[in-house]
Amino acid sequence: MRAASRASKTADIWFRVVAGLCASTPVLFLVVIGVVVLIDSIPVIRYMGWHFLTGVNWDLGDMYGNMVVRNGVSAPAGATYGALPYIVGTLASSVLAMLIAIPVSVCTAVILAYRVHGPVKSVFSILVELLAGIPSVVFGLWGMVVLGPWIVHDLGPAINRVLGFIPFLRGSAGTGLGLLNSALVLALMVVPILTATTRDLLEQVPVLYREGGIGLGMTDWEVIRRICLPYVKDGLIGAVALGWGRAMGETMAVLMVGGSGMNALPHTIFSPISTMASVIANQLDSALTDATHLAVHALAELALVLMVLTLITNWLARILVQRSSKTLREGVRA
Amino acid sequence: MGQSLHVRDLKAWYGNHQTLRGISMEIPENRVTAIIGPSGCGKSTFIRCLNRLHETTPQGRVEGKVQLGDADVYEMDAVDVRRVIGMVFQKPNPFPTLSIYDNVAIGLKLGGMRDKSAQFERVEQSLRMAALWDEVKDRLHRPAVALSGGQQQRLCIARALAVQPNVLLMDEPASALDPISTARIEELVLSLKENYTIVIVTHNMQQAARVADKTAFFLNGELIEFGDTTSLFTRPQDNRTEDYITGRFG
Ligand SMILES: Nc1ncnc2c1ncn2[C@@H]1O[C@H](COP(=O)(O)OP(=O)(O)OP(=O)(O)O)[C@@H](O)[C@H]1O
Ligand SMILES: [Mg+2]
């Protein structure tokens, strides 16, 4: 056997160093961004404490009046930063969006993976992927111009009529901008990625297993429900977590169709909302005029909470995936 | 009880490629019928037409008539057809996300059997028929993929038997298995024919001779010869059959 030359050994060392650096960049970025946002939030954490998470009012205070000092932090008089409506807005709009997007995506993916073949399939697939490439501001515009009036005139009254016995679903559709509109726009933005991923997953289900189900006299739906979906469950959970994270972080579209709800929790599906991301974008300008900088720090803490929430959802998804693959592995070992 | 199958002028295509060129045969009830022939001659396609599985493959197309007893298989609901004509595949394919028990029980559950104890009884009975019960009775709730290949194949047989079909189609059920597992499957086939009509595809002529009452020889999508197994192997009527069984081609 040929002994490894010095040159190839050096090359290998270089390769390891570079690969190690590349592999650690995601972690590095995550840590750096997290630390920066955390440090930036400290003044507000001291000023507001837990009330940041539980307060309902967000008021930059009288920026041209007196300053007050609390816990060693100076702030404009009357300033208070209660992020609960935005946390709720973020969670409500993204969860609702996922509740709409998951069934739609799974059904579309099933059709793309199993029902259509040849050119129809490629055209459909391309359309879905094109949808994924539309900038969010276009979705926002569409939500304002098309979806808003439709909610006011058709969807809102219909929901009131059919599901109005549920308090959360009863109420005036207002301007058509709000929680429902945000959820629909977010769903539309998540559907393409979720559909494409689910389709790829479903195509990986060995035909052998599907035929096993068909041969046993299962209907198409039973084959999908009992064989295909369980088979792709792990991947699906991952895709849903990614899509959810995206929906929570989406800024522009929600800013346009959320109705800029402030200082109140949404009490119906039609209430105006703001999400953490949209508030950051929306408020940054006025926050910069705060001489104490506390308003900017408050937005930083909002970013921190958003990051933590996204991480938690991803982590939960990971645990779910690990648990299901662990039971499978344990079974194999036994 | 088994039911007979009458096949009339069955033709099948993959896209433009015709793989069955008009097959007619009478498959008797409560007998084992073997299908032999060289690779690619259409054996799998043939039995996949009997339970209407062929039409689920993209581009798959069928013409002709298949009758189960008095019923026209191609006029029945396809799902119902597959409940009375069960199938065992060449590669063991237990559902990987289900336990051993659920693999057998799922057909019962979907068929509407709600009563748990009746379900359990049927699962046990099916596993016993498939000669698997003693090996798995202590780990019924383990994943099915934890079984060996031969056990998996017997599990697939139990799964097919649980819904009590009239006909059992087997596509080279032992080709992926070792000699001992193969022997067990063959014993199983022989014991099942009292209650089922069995159609078995095999590459192995000794196997056909051991288990089958009747044997059909396929070549290039045509049925060349069909008759009692012993006479087909000892006094083939067609030269091509003789060439094949004496190993001159295929
Ligand atoms: N999914 C498919 N798409 C296109 N052609 C196919 C497909 N499956 C089989 N064929 C073709 O149909 C013909 C018959 O195939 P079939 O699987 O029925 O043969 P077989 O007799 O079962 O062969 P083997 O003994 O190798 O299993 C072959 O020529 C094969 O190439
Ligand atoms: Mg075959």
SS (H, E, C) chain A: CCCCCHHHHHHHHHHHHHHHHHHHHHHHHHHHHHHHHHHHHHHHHHHHCCHHHHCCCEECCEEEEEEEEECCEEEEECCEECCHHHHHHHHHHHHHHHHHHHHHHHHHHHHHHHHCCHHHHHHHHHHHHHHHHCCHHHHHHHHHHHHHHHHHHHHHHHHHHHHCCCHHHCCCCCCCCCHHHHHHHHHHHHHHHHHHHHHHHHHCCCHHHHHHHHHCCCCHHHHHHHHHHHHCHHHHHHHHHHHHHHHHHCCHHHHHHCECCCCCCCCCCCCCECCHHHHHHHHHHHHCCCCCCHHHHHHHHHHHHHHHHHHHHHHHHHHHHHHHHHHHHHHHHC
Q: Given this model, what pLDDT does residue A72 score?
A: 84
Domain A84-333 part of CATH 1.10.3720.10: yes
CA of B44 to the centre of ligand 2 (A): 4
Residues of B in contact with A219 (CB under 8 A): 79
Tokens encoding B64: 């002709």
Q: Given this model, what pLDDT does residue A332 score?
A: 47
Test B145 with A328 for CB contact under 8 angstroms.
Answer: yes
Counting Cα atoms < 13 Å in the Cβ hemisphere of A37 gives 17
Q: Is the CB of B14 under 6 A from ligand 1?
A: yes
Q: Given this model, what pLDDT does residue B1 score?
A: 73
For A261-294, the pLDDT digits (tens) are: 888 899 899 999 999 999 999 999 988 888 888 9
| Cross-strand bridge partners of residue A245 | none
> Which of B44, B203, B223 maximizes ligand 1 atoms within 8 Å of its Cβ, making it the mutation to test the pocket?
B44
Picking from B83, B183, B176, the residue whose alpha carbon sits closest to that of residue A215 is: B83
Q: Given this model, what pLDDT does residue A326 score?
A: 60
The residue type found at A58 is: W
Domain limits, chain B: 5-94+165-245
Q: Is the CB of B202 under 6 A from ligand 1?
A: no
* Closest ligand 1 atom to Cα of B41: 21
Q: How far is A132 from chain B (nearest CA, A)?
A: 28
Q: Dihedrals φ, ψ of B68, to 5°?
A: -110, 110
**A&B contacts, CB < 8 Å:** 78
Q: Compare all CA atoms of chain B with the CA of A205 and give the residue at the minimum distance.
A: B96
Give the torsion sign (CA, A312, A313, A315, A319): positive
| Residue B197: CB atoms within 10 Å | 26
Test B79 with A233 for CB contact under 8 angstroms.
Answer: no
B5-94+165-245 CATH choice from 3.30.2350.10, 3.30.565.10, 3.40.50.300, 3.40.50.2300: 3.40.50.300
Top residue of B45, B82, B93 to mutate, by most chain A CBs within 10 Å, is B93
Q: Given this model, what pLDDT does residue A63 score?
A: 80
Does this complex have an ipTM over 0.85?
A: yes
What is the rounded distance in angstroms from the CA atom of residue A324 to the CA atom of residue A234? Answer: 8
Q: Give how far Cα A266 sits from Cα of A56, A257, A269, A287, B26, Å.
A: 11, 14, 7, 24, 71
Mean pLDDT split into 10-residue runs, chain A, 334 residues: 78 92 90 93 91 91 84 87 94 95 95 89 89 91 95 92 88 88 95 93 94 94 94 91 91 91 89 93 89 91 94 85 64 44
Instruction: Find out whether A166 and A194 touch, Cβ atoms under 8 Å.
Output: no
Domain limits, chain A: 6-80, 84-333
